[in-house]
Amino acid sequence: MRNDRRSILGAGLVLSILGTSRVSAQTAPPSVSGASPPGLPQPVETIDLWPGGAPGMPASRPIEQVTERSDDTLVTDRAVAGIAVPRMAVFRPDRPNGAAVLLIPGGGYRHVVVDKEGYEMARWLTARGFAAFVLFYRLPYDGWAAGPDVCLSDAQRAMRLIRFKHDDYAVDPERVAAMGFSAGGHLCADLGTRFAAQTYHPIDDADKLSAKPVCAAPIYPVVSMRLPEAHPGSRERLLGANPTPSLETTHSPDRNVPKDAPPFFILHAEDDDVVPVENSLLLRAALKARGIRTEMHLFEHGGHGFGLRKATGKPVEAWPNLWRAWSRSCGLG
């Protein structure tokens, strides 16, 4: 990340001249009708990623739909599909520590999970001083012009916007991390390995900044797009029914690790029956082969999609504190 200091500070000079962009009216966070669970803070602040509208809009504009999948009125489990306005929901800490985390929820590239891998983790982070930004990214099967790169475009743009608006959120632009879950873990790993890929045309000064996270944490991630390790649903929705070997390689983070990748924290349960643990093993091996700092934790039990709520009472519930302790070695605080 220190290698990107010049690009970050150079853009900071532009900001000092132009002034930091303050928060304006943005698209509301995804929501469903009905009352929210009592006592759980819901975000009221968002950042639209693309001020002129997302690039490459399909001929048939996606219609955003939020589905509530929980029968428990005290524990929501929402998922959003048809995202036409990609954005970040913002969670501000009461006592900022100067660091930020871009949270990338999963959903198999079918939808984006709102609560379990988004808002719940954001609340955990803000309680510890981190600013948290939950990313609602476009889905590739909706027909966007960027195709399978559309999700990475949103992740890159999100990282740059957090840095661009760092004064608004009391964030050090050199202390912005990424964390993703399942298919969001794939996008997190893709961001951590292809942060420098040009997946969209720059539109403003924010795009002069680096998209490289200071560290990346893919949690029970989809990694490989090659069978048999690939998660079939994520692979098909990202790449189509019959992707070429070249396309599989381009979108398998373990095959695209650059020599300047950020440090990685990888977590997986060995009894994961949705995304094989081999995905994390492949990523670790590729990072180690490039000499990239990597910490990996494998748990015997945990299954898939445990996040915070399903980890309670199991050894795997220690994972957030393991990440936090490791992140300090990356200067995250």
Rounded CA separation 268/319 (Å)? 10
Q: Is the peptide bond before 228 cis (omega within 30 degrees of 0)?
A: yes
Averaged pLDDT, 304-318: 91
Average pLDDT over every residue of 114-137: 97
- In the predicted model, what is the mean pLDDT of residues 250-264? 98
Handedness of CA 75, 77, 80, 86 (dihedral sign): positive
User: CA–CA separation, 235 vs 249, rounded Å?
Assistant: 12
The reported pLDDT for the residue numbered 29 is 87
Under the banding of pLDDT at 50, 70 and 90, the label for residue 83 is very high
pLDDT at position 36: 74
Sheet holding 294-299, edge to edge: 45-48, 87-91, 131-136, 100-104, 176-181, 216-219, 264-269, 294-299
User: How many beta carbons lie within 10 A of that of residue 184, not counting itself?
Assistant: 31
In sequence order, the 6+-apart residues with CB closer than 8 A to the CB of 283 are 189, 218, 221, 223, 253, 254, 264, 266
pLDDT, one tens digit per residue, over 20-69 is 344 444 898 887 766 677 778 889 899 999 999 999 999 999 999 999 99
Q: Please give the Cα distance from 89 to 308 (Å, whole number).
A: 19
Q: Averaged over 253-265, what is the pLDDT?
A: 98
Tokens encoding 314 = 């199991």
Average pLDDT (120-131) is 97
139/308: higher pLDDT: 139
In the predicted model, is pLDDT for residue 100 greater than 70? Answer: yes
State how far the Cα of 102 lies from the Cα of 256, in Å rounded to an integer.
21
Domains observed in the chain: 64-328 (3.40.50.1820)
Between CA 155 and CA 317, with CA 93 as vertex, the angle to 5 degrees is 75
CA distance 145 to 50: 15
Tens digit of pLDDT for each residue in 158-209? 999 999 999 999 999 999 999 999 999 999 999 999 999 999 999 999 999 9
pTM: 0.91
Mean pLDDT of the chain: 91
Are 132 and 103 in contact by the 8 Å Cβ rule? The answer is yes
Instruction: Name, in order, each residue with C-beta under 8 angstroms of 161's C-beta and a sequence gap of 6 or more.
Output: 47, 49, 88, 206
